[in-house]
Amino acid sequence: MTHRLNRRKFLQYTGMAGTALLLPGKGTAGSYPTLASDEIGLSKWELETPSLCLELEVMEKNLKKVHYKLAGSGIGVRPHIKTHKCPALAQMQLDAGAVGVCAAKLSESEIMLENGISQVLMTGVNVSPVKIKKAMALRKKYPGFIQAVDNPVNAQDLQDAAKAAGIIAEVVVDLDVIKRSGVRTGLPALELAQQIDRSPNLRFMGILAYDGGAQHVKGYAARKARTDQTFEPVVATYESMVKSGLNVEIFSGAGTGTYDMMGDVPGFTDVQVGSYLFMDAQYMAIGSEENEELYDHFDPSLTVMTTVINTNYPGRLITDSGAKALTINKPSGIVIGEPGFTYNAGSDEYGTVTYSEANRDYKVGDRLEVIVPHCDPAINLYDRIYGIRRGKVEMVLPVLARGMSR
């Protein structure tokens, strides 16, 4: 089923058809699915805690900056919504010029598609008959849904299900780059792509090569070296596919840690960045090409507001935000404005801040604003994100795909 994109399809894939661009400086409330709430208008310091807050101006800069950084490279952006699980944010990403979004799971994909996100590439595979059937029903309803496959048996199952559903389903081949998901690069991948291409009810669209392990390698040089190594067999696989006559429309991979390393990869089409919108303590620690100490391509926009609830001991504050509010990921959350604070979220219900120096005195009831350790699992703990502008709640964004791990 080798084919070329027509213009209509191109517009559809690039997300440019019918949707308004996000205008610089324009307020974004209203055009996205947001929640009515009597908390709108409150100062972020008045919110009950723990609350997950998003500085909209910072987020909007990050949203644009990834496109600015990639301008002229020919590489597109296909943000991974596993990070935020929020259709409103996905819509902002599409409006900013994303070619579509990625989703990790079927239930996440469904939430996105049913909430107006028309271009969804599911990077995980569906292997159970029930999920495969659901996925094909979803594709029947939403033509912009692309599925991944990583083994020949599964490809046949997808073919059978697509036939039963009476559709031709778009499929990408996920490549094994870190011994996690994916088909082995080289001949196994080529043969799987050819099998799909021969399948009357499947349409081969391209390949995925996401090196999840590379994203948090500390130091630009080390990260780049690893990425180059990862992509050697991937590129060879890509070239074998092109040589065999396959139409590799999608060659997707990379994340927030490696999005700027893909320029020399032949045929590469788009980066699957997710954390770039928010940043977190993990990504801040990896360093960039220009700044080995702090990864500063994007600025931290996502925080948890927390309340000091106990001050019994000097150099020690207890807060109401523990593992259920921040996760136990490392490095720990970063208290804004207090570089000397160490935040321990190891208790389920309580946070413990220790310090030898503080910039002010703290008493019970005071709030702290904490940059999250790792944005993806932290957001997955919350039903809503408070969109903050100039210190006040401008919108409440529902995390509709929270907990959607199926």
One of 143, 233, 267, 377 touching a copy of itself (CB under 8 A): 377
Nearest to a copy of itself of 31, 344 (CB atom) = 344
H/E segment holding residue 313: none
One of 37, 164, 348, 390 touching a copy of itself (CB under 8 A): 348
Applying CB under 8 A, does 323 fall inside the site for a copy of itself? yes
One of 48, 57, 114, 296 touching a copy of itself (CB under 8 A): 48
Nearest to a copy of itself of 28, 126 (CB atom) = 126
3-state secondary structure of 326: helix
Measured distance between the N- and C-terminal CA atoms of the chain, rounded to whole angstroms: 30
DSSP character string of 251-308: EEE--TTTGGG-TTSTT--EE---GGGT--HHHHTT--SS-SSS--SS---EEEEEEE
Applying CB under 8 A, does 185 fall inside the site for a copy of itself? no
Kindly state the tokens that stand for 313.
């001991």
Applying CB under 8 A, does 313 fall inside the site for a copy of itself? yes
Applying CB under 8 A, does 272 fall inside the site for a copy of itself? no
Applying CB under 8 A, does 383 fall inside the site for a copy of itself? yes
Contact region with a copy of itself (CB under 8 A), list: 136-144, 189-197, 255-263, 315-323:
315-323
3-state secondary structure of 57: helix
Taking the CA atoms of 41, 45, 50 and 51 in sequence, report the sign of the dihedral they define: positive
Applying CB under 8 A, does 321 fall inside the site for a copy of itself? yes
Applying CB under 8 A, does 347 fall inside the site for a copy of itself? yes
Applying CB under 8 A, does 361 fall inside the site for a copy of itself? no
One of 53, 260, 380, 398 touching a copy of itself (CB under 8 A): 380
60-79 binders of a copy of itself (CB under 8 A):
none
Nearest to a copy of itself of 247, 347 (CB atom) = 347
What is the greatest pairwise CA distance in the chain?
A: 71
One of 186, 212, 233, 331 touching a copy of itself (CB under 8 A): 212
Q: Compute the half-sphere exposure of residue 244: CA atoms within 13 Å on the CB side of its CA.
A: 19
Applying CB under 8 A, does 9 fall inside the site for a copy of itself? no
Nearest to a copy of itself of 85, 139 (CB atom) = 85
Q: Which amino acid is located at 381 in the chain? A: L
Helical pair 56-70 and 87-95, crossing angle rounded to 10 deg:
40
Q: Which amino acid is located at 29 in the chain? A: A
Applying CB under 8 A, does 352 fall inside the site for a copy of itself? yes
- Exposed e or buried b for every residue in 72-99, given b needs 16+ CB within 10 A? eeebbbbbbbbbbbbbbbbbbbbbbbbb
> Minimal distance in Å, beta carbon 364 to a copy of itself?
5
Applying CB under 8 A, does 26 fall inside the site for a copy of itself? no
3-state secondary structure of 126: coil
Contact region with a copy of itself (CB under 8 A), list: 91-99, 125-133, 283-291, 385-393:
125-133
Assess whether the previous peptide bond of 331 is cis (omega < 30° from 0): yes
Contact region with a copy of itself (CB under 8 A), list: 26-34, 60-68, 292-300, 376-384:
376-384
The whole-angstrom separation of Cα 328 and Cα 373 is 8
> Minimal distance in Å, beta carbon 48 to a copy of itself?
5
Q: What is the DSSP letter of 35?
A: B
Where residue 161 falls (left for φ over 0; alpha for ψ -120 to 50; beta otherwise) is: alpha
Contact region with a copy of itself (CB under 8 A), list: 19-27, 87-95, 214-222, 375-383:
375-383
- Residue pointed to by tokens 């070296």: 225
152-181 binders of a copy of itself (CB under 8 A):
153-154, 176, 179-181
Task: Write out the residues near a copy of itself by the rule CB under 8 A.
Answer: 46, 48-51, 82, 104-105, 124-125, 127-128, 130-131, 150-151, 153-154, 176, 179-184, 212, 307-310, 312-313, 316, 318, 320-321, 323-325, 327-329, 347-350, 352, 364-365, 376-377, 380-383, 402-403, 405-406
